[in-house]
Amino acid sequence: MSVKLIKTFTGNYQVAYACPNCSESLRNPIRDVGNEDSCPACKHRFRVPNSPEIQVMQGKLADETERKAEAERIKAEEKQREIEAAQLKKRIGTNQAAIKNEAPQTHTWTPSVSAPAISGARPTTRSEDFNDLVSWAVRTTRRLLNLSLLIWWTLCAANLFGSIVVISVLYRNVATSRGDSVGGVENVVAYVFALALSLAFWLLMAFAGTVSVGVAGVLFEIEKNTRK
């Protein structure tokens, strides 16, 4: 009987042989060597055959299994030692804390010299009064500047709107008095140019007001930092 040792794609070993009764090709795991089995085709019972090659492989597999078991045992022992070390460290810390709490507390007396208490409110100096006055003046001035900037922008917007209305009325009156068409190209160009000039003028005024207030704010910040 021809017996072959085959390694599967999963890494396991099987014994390939033919049924001694009907010559059906059969396979068994290597661990079944020497055990009784039956042919699924003819139901003939027999023992799974063995060979020197299979015996050598069985020895190698047994050694490998033993090595794996030894490695698992060593790993388990190391893990157990780590657990015991952690528990011992925790017990030592608990004991040290208990000893520290039970130790007698020693107090050293240190003479302290305190300044005599002064009844009443602490008198303020002229410098502090002056700084408070300056701070109040700075805050008030900044609020007034913000309010003036808002009023300035409002006046610029009102003047711009008024300029547009005045230019529109003048444009219509001039065009009507000259007998020209209100929608003529020359009249429209002149009207748009006048509006652009008015808009540029009032934008310049608004920008000037904003820059003035900004410069004043920077000066106030510099003065505030200097007093600190």
What is the reported pLDDT for 85?
Answer: 92
CA distances from 182 to 168, 173, 198 (A): 11, 9, 20
What is the reported pLDDT for 82?
Answer: 92
What is the reported pLDDT for 185?
Answer: 58
What is the reported pLDDT for 126?
Answer: 59
Which residues in the chain show pLDDT less than 70? 1, 103-131, 133-134, 171, 173-191, 217, 220, 223-228
183, part of any domain: yes
Q: How many CB atoms lie within 10 A of CB 216?
A: 15
In this structure, what token pair is assigned to residue 108? 């050293």
What is the reported pLDDT for 151?
Answer: 85
220, part of any domain: yes
pTM equals: 0.31
132 and 223 both lie in a single domain: yes
Boundary of a domain, candidates 66, 86, 108:
66
Q: Are 17 and 1 in contact (CB under 8 A)?
A: yes
What is the reported pLDDT for 179?
Answer: 59
Boundary of a domain, candidates 66, 89, 114:
66
Domain with 22, as residue range(s), is 4-66
Task: Report the alpha-carbon distance of residue 186 to residue 191 in Å, rounded.
Answer: 9
Q: Are 42 and 22 in contact (CB under 8 A)?
A: yes
What is the reported pLDDT for 154?
Answer: 85
116, part of any domain: no
62 and 142 both lie in a single domain: no
Structural domains of the chain, count? 2
145 and 54 both lie in a single domain: no
What is the reported pLDDT for 98?
Answer: 79
